[in-house]
Structure 1
């Protein structure tokens, strides 16, 4: 694995985050890329570092497991990231959906009359 500068490492992490935020990669795919491309560690070593079994890490990376929020959060924190809330649709898709003639009603289906 090529040694990265701090700037290159940050750019790679930002790219992985962006792809996940846009829905282009799953959480498992993002964690796998972080493990491989940022740390270069094998599953066994990384799993030990995270305090989990290799099998649990494999299941998480292949989107087959059901990890706890604490598990995911502890993995992300190793990369300076944390879990948070985000829109179900990426911003660009929300604009397209909203622009297709649908109007947003602010008070449910029966807005207050004027």
Structure 2
């Protein structure tokens, strides 16, 4: 866990995970770089921790978060899978 923050109790960690996943669920229009940044930052993972968890290099994660990367579908799936998320297609008319 990112040492810039005080350690969370297990209950607080579960609640934070629920909040982050709920936000992502409620905003399907979010681009992938925002989703990756929300997952990592919201759950307080360092680049190194997220890299170990997903098997994606820290540099690739950083580039994706900064919207400089062009990830493959396989890479995106690796970044989402630990949280029970999948990449999907949604109508561009959501929220109209």
Instruction: Summarize deviations over 1:60-97 as a string: whole Å, max 9, x none.
Output: 1111111110110121111111111211231x31xxxx
List alignment gaps of at least 5 residues for structure 2. none
Deviation at residue 6 of structure 1 after TM alignment: 3.3
Please tell me whether the aligned partners of residues 56 and 79 of structure 2 are also in contact (alpha carbons under 8 angstroms): no
Aligned match of 2:18 in 10, 22, 38? 10
Q: How many residues align?
A: 88
Q: Which has the higher contact order (CA 8 A, sep 6+)?
A: 2
1:37 is aligned to 42
Q: What is the DSSP-based 3-state SS (H/G/I as helix, E as strand, rest coil) of the residue aligned with 1:78?
A: helix
User: Are residues 1:74 and 2:78 paired?
Assistant: yes
Deviation at residue 5 of structure 1 after TM alignment: 5.3
Please tell me whether the aligned partners of residues 28 and 63 of structure 1 are also in contact (alpha carbons under 8 angstroms): yes
Q: What is the DSSP-based 3-state SS (H/G/I as helix, E as strand, rest coil) of the residue aligned with 2:89?
A: coil
Deviation at residue 7 of structure 1 after TM alignment: 4.8
Q: With structure 2 as the length reference, what TM-score do the two structures score?
A: 0.75
Q: Which ranges of 4 or more aligned residues in structure 1 deviate by more than 4 Å?
A: none
Structure with max Cα Rg: 1
Deviation at residue 54 of structure 1 after TM alignment: 1.4
List alignment gaps of at least 5 residues for structure 1. 94-114
Q: With structure 1 as the length reference, what TM-score do the two structures score?
A: 0.65
